[in-house]
Amino acid sequence: MNEGFQWSEHGSNLIEATGQTLYMVSATLLIGGVLGLALGMGLYTTRRGGLLQQRWVFGFLNLLVNIFRPIPFLILLFAVAPLTVGIVGTRLGSTAMIVPMSVAATFGVSRIVEQNLVAIDPGVIEAARATGATRWRIITTLLVPEALGPLILGYTFICIAVVDMSALAGTLDGGGLGAFALDYGYKRWNFGVVWVTVIVIIVLVQLAQALGNRLSRKVMHRN
């Protein structure tokens, strides 16, 4: 049973599992990234002193995020299953896993976005207002570019959390590297497979972090 990682036996499964992981992670980053950006901008603009200061709206959004964020991902996975079935038609498989992962990512990303927007120098917003720019123009054309460097780093941070989520999702019939390590490694007591999976995940994470660092440096124009 414990014969280690054999390319002939495990290779095609590893490649397929890596593909599924990349699929889940990139779809989640796209959906959760966009929704989280919108929610984060909502939090930032409606907070006290914000461009669209709205106490009740902020209170509602803040509460919503605070309710969802502390739910452990494993429980969220079950909890949103009816929603998953409603959207995807099934609660199994990589595509279905994108729903709970996107929900979790949305709330995580929203806080990252809020934090990085809060860090924008208020003087810059004031300067934009002084030119006569509408609040809508400032929100749509200035906020994200001004915070882009740190936002990219924040997204990179979330990306790694999403890889983590995907592994957990995989163990619940989601496929991907988590399922691969569980089925071919742990269940058969084959730690060669487990370690190869870990290495693949480390490489993916390293690549994501390197890309994030590079992009954020590029957009910050510091020389």
Partner 1 sequence: MSHIIEFRDVTKVFSGRAGTVTAVDHVDLSVEEGEIFAVIGYSGAGKSTLVRLINGLERVTSGALIVDGEDVVRMSESQLERKRRDIGMIFQQFNLFRSRTVAGNVAFPLKVAGWPRDKRDARVAELLDFVGLLDRAHSYPEQLSGGQKQRVGIARALAAGPKILLADESTSALDPETTQDVLRLLKKVNRELGVTVVVITHELEIVRALADRVAILESGRVVESGTVFETFSKPASEVGRRFVSTVLHDQPRGDDLARIRQAHPGRIVTATIHDGSRLGAVLAGAGAHGVTFEIVYGGIGTLQARSFGSLTLELTGPAPAVDRVVADLRGVTEIEEVA
Binding positions for partner 1, rule: CB under 8 A: 121, 123-124, 126-135, 137, 142, 145-146, 148, 219-223
Q: Which is nearer to partner 1, 6 or 213 (CB)?
A: 213
Q: Which is nearer to partner 1, 22 or 142 (CB)?
A: 142
Instruction: With CA atoms as reference, report the closest residue to 62 among 78, 76, 77, 50.
Output: 50
Instruction: With CA atoms as reference, report the closest residue to 200 among 166, 156, 154, 158.
Output: 166
User: Is the separation of the CB atoms in 109 and 151 below 8 Å?
Assistant: no
d(CA 101, CA 36): 12
d(CA 154, CA 148): 10
CB of residue 153 vs partner 1: minimum separation in angstroms?
Answer: 15
State in Å, rounded, how far the first CA of the chain is from the last one: 57
CB of residue 118 vs partner 1: minimum separation in angstroms?
Answer: 16
Q: Which is nearer to partner 1, 96 or 152 (CB)?
A: 152
Cβ-based neighbour number of residue 22 at 10 Å? 16
CB of residue 83 vs partner 1: minimum separation in angstroms?
Answer: 37
CB of residue 146 vs partner 1: minimum separation in angstroms?
Answer: 5
Q: Which is nearer to partner 1, 67 or 219 (CB)?
A: 219
